[in-house]
Structure 1
Amino acid sequence: MTPTLPPARYIDPASAPPFRWGVIGTGIAGRFVDSLHSHTTQRAVAVAARDLDRTEAFAREHSVERVFGTTTALIESSEIDVVYIATPHPQHRDLALEAIAAGKHVLIEKPIAMSAHEASDITAAGRAAGVLVMEAMWTRYLPQSDIVRQVVASGLLGDLRLVRADFGFVMPFLPDHRLWSAELGGGALLDAGIYPISFVSSVLGSPSMVIARGSTAPTGVDASADVMLASADGATGIASTSIITSMPVTAEILGSAGRLLVHGPFIGPSGLTLTTGSFFDESSTTWIEPSLAMYDGMSCQATALAKYVAEGRVESPVHPHAEIVSIMATIDEARHQIAALPVNG
């Protein structure tokens, strides 16, 4: 019998109150602001970044009304409801704590910080201040991710055995580039590896054991990593990442009664294939994202944030604080294990 996939439960952008967003940083923020303006009722009304000329150009290109000369001025402005932090990772903690102290809700680009300790500082501060803190793990808020959660919760896959995911690409070695710079929070795990590790966590929860193998670059950052994550109930997760190897960027959940494939690139809007039945009598069904192009999917997290604020939440129900900290602890341990290996070994 052909299996069926449940429908995605969308959050209607019109159902969420419109907020005024202040943007800090001008890198990936451009894609986020464009998706915000095209697919939600939210509006980026101000931007601040280190280079004023570049910031002004960003504002013109992405229809942002106001440029602040400093990040503090933006954070303290009464014109801002939510601060979106899209700077290099090492700056996340201090900026987030400053915004939280000013009573602002915050969406912080992944990784939320440089370590589990810093992530705990941020989430605890948000809870104490009564403001919403979210990591911009946009994959969690895609329609396909809602379908994945429903399939896993339904038991349709049987006993879960293996969850695997990967995200890797080839980045030329440029020592001063942020991906290769230890000072700028470089390395495969923090930039790309957080996606497959987060996917495994979303299905299996916090691991009972972490085993990591990989390679390091001459600058000391991890260039690749394969991370095995054991769960308390006996299932295994495998997360692979690299900035020296091209990968298919897919994810899969395998159980005793079936398997669910998230098409590549699984980090953005893509599709799903559910397969059930015995080896000699399998049946499959496929769902393809009907409307969202790749980076359009970044808008889903903004709509979710606005809805959660309206509900009085201080953390995301699909990506709670404890899990954010746990994922960072997994990355901390993987980075520690790989750093102990010989360079390029």
Structure 2
Amino acid sequence: MTDPSTATPPAYTPIADRPVRWGLLAAGGIARALAQAIAAVEGGEVVAVAARDGDRARAFAEEFGIPRAYGSYAELVDDAEVDAVYISSTHPFHREQALACIRAGKHVLVEKPTTLTVHDTEEVLEAARAAGVLAVEAMWTRCQPIVLDALARVRRGDIGTVRSVHAALPVPFDYDESHRLFDLTNGGGALLDLGIYPVTLAHLFAGHPTHLHVLGSRVATGADALVALQWMTTEGAVVQVLTDSLSHGSTETLVRGSEGSLQLHGPINNPTSFTVRRGEEEQLVDGGDRRGYEHEVEEFHRCLELGLPESPLIPHADTVAIMTILESARRELGVRYPQEDEPLHTADVVP
């Protein structure tokens, strides 16, 4: 895919001579983390927050010194002084909220996954392009310097040709059918909430599937809980991904090559370091600049300053490709959301 940073002219008037004015759509814990990140970096300020509960929005605004608080999302969308909206509601609501923001001319940072389905994700991204606004999935791991460093080393051949990748994310939750992770009506399932991280890393390091094999199990609500994916890429690498919402275990990622290996340490979504092994040599690379969501916010600001329609670090094609893997896998497991009114429209996992 062509690097969108080379596109001329800008897709919209760049925001380069003043702070980006952010609006927060939803006022939960992850919105709090992003508000803190925006405050910690240059180039942006939160000017409005909205929640379905007006009192909650006002309490959030008071905590962070945000000038405007709304008791409905529509009021935020209609706020002419908001440039960009961070959408952090639950998955099933992302599509309609993102489209409303885009129709209002807002740039959008949409919490992962962008939507519930491939079809809806493509609709949102195509609408953003047509409207001339920036749309980015909030896959913050892709903006982490430690991940970018590891990826650059693999792509330049430090461990030879990639032969296999193993990535896993088990996170134990107490089973409760009303919990978001197990409630299909609220976008539940391990794949979309947890599995998106190891699938994203595996896709980054190895590439897209030519074949995809799926094993897994569901809980009583019908949501996927344990999922194992295996695929082969065009280049001949084998990928193994595991996610589980009911078990403990390591989240480290291992990339094996023809000349060595690279292992990411620590949380899969925010690694602390990585080790490169080649022959008898072993190098531990420290994570260095680890500032959580701040890197994601800085990338979004950079894109707005350049007038880009998408982020080179989180390109639209990859967002759709990864959603295609996730959707293909859950359909194989018989997991279908009640909001879906169309079958998977992609014939296979190759975009």
TM-score when normalising by structure 2: 0.87
Contact 2:55 2:71 in 1 (8 A): no
Q: Which residue of 2 aligns with 1:20?
A: 21
Q: Which residue of 1 aligns with 2:197?
A: 195
Contact 1:269 1:297 in 2 (8 A): no
| 1:30-45 pair list within 5 angstroms | 30-45=32-47
Structure 1 runs of 4+ with >3 Å offset: none
Q: Aligned pair 1:122/2:124, yes or no?
A: yes
The one-letter amino acid of 1:318's match is L
Q: Which residue of 1 aligns with 2:306?
A: 311
Q: Which residue of 2 aligns with 1:70?
A: 72
**Aligned mates of 1:20, 1:322 — CA distance in 2:** 27
Residue 255 (structure 1) shift = 0.3
**Aligned mates of 1:56, 1:269 — CA distance in 2:** 35
Q: Which residue of 2 aligns with 1:302?
A: 297
Aligned counterpart in structure 2 of residue 150 of structure 1, from 149, 152, 161: 152
**Aligned mates of 1:125, 1:205 — CA distance in 2:** 26
Q: Which residue of 2 aligns with 1:88?
A: 90
Structure 2 unaligned blocks of 5 or more:
1-15, 336-351
**Aligned mates of 1:271, 1:73 — CA distance in 2:** 43
**Aligned mates of 2:65, 2:212 — CA distance in 1:** 45
Give the 3-state SS of the residue equivalent to 1:241 in structure 2.
strand
Q: Which residue of 2 aligns with 1:237?
A: 239
| 1:92-241 pair list within 5 angstroms | 92-241=94-243
Change (3 A) 1:134 1:16: farther
Contact 1:206 1:323 in 2 (8 A): no
Give the 3-state SS of the residue equivalent to 1:208 in structure 2.
strand
Aligned counterpart in structure 2 of residue 331 of structure 1, from 312, 326, 329: 326
Aligned counterpart in structure 2 of residue 50 of structure 1, from 26, 49, 52: 52
TM-score when normalising by structure 1: 0.89
The one-letter amino acid of 1:242's match is D
Contact 2:23 2:84 in 1 (8 A): yes
**Aligned mates of 2:94, 2:139 — CA distance in 1:** 14
Give the 3-state SS of the residue equivalent to 1:254 in structure 2.
strand
1:214-238 per-position Cα deviation (integer Å, ceiling 9, x unaligned): 1101011001111112101110111
Contact 1:42 1:303 in 2 (8 A): no
Residue 153 (structure 1) shift = 2.1
1:1-57 per-position Cα deviation (integer Å, ceiling 9, x unaligned): xxxxxxxxxxxxxx9963111001122111111122123432222111112222222
The one-letter amino acid of 2:69's match is V
**Aligned mates of 2:305, 2:34 — CA distance in 1:** 21
Give the 3-state SS of the residue equivalent to 2:164 in structure 1.
strand
Residue 339 (structure 1) shift = 2.2
Q: Which residue of 1 aligns with 2:3?
A: none
Contact 1:163 1:237 in 2 (8 A): yes
- Number of residue pairs matched? 319
**Aligned mates of 2:249, 2:46 — CA distance in 1:** 34
**Aligned mates of 2:165, 2:17 — CA distance in 1:** 33
**Aligned mates of 1:20, 1:205 — CA distance in 2:** 36
**Aligned mates of 2:74, 2:334 — CA distance in 1:** 36
Give the 3-state SS of the residue equivalent to 1:34 in structure 2.
helix
Aligned CA RMSD, in angstroms, stands at 1.6
Structure 1 unaligned blocks of 5 or more:
1-14, 341-345
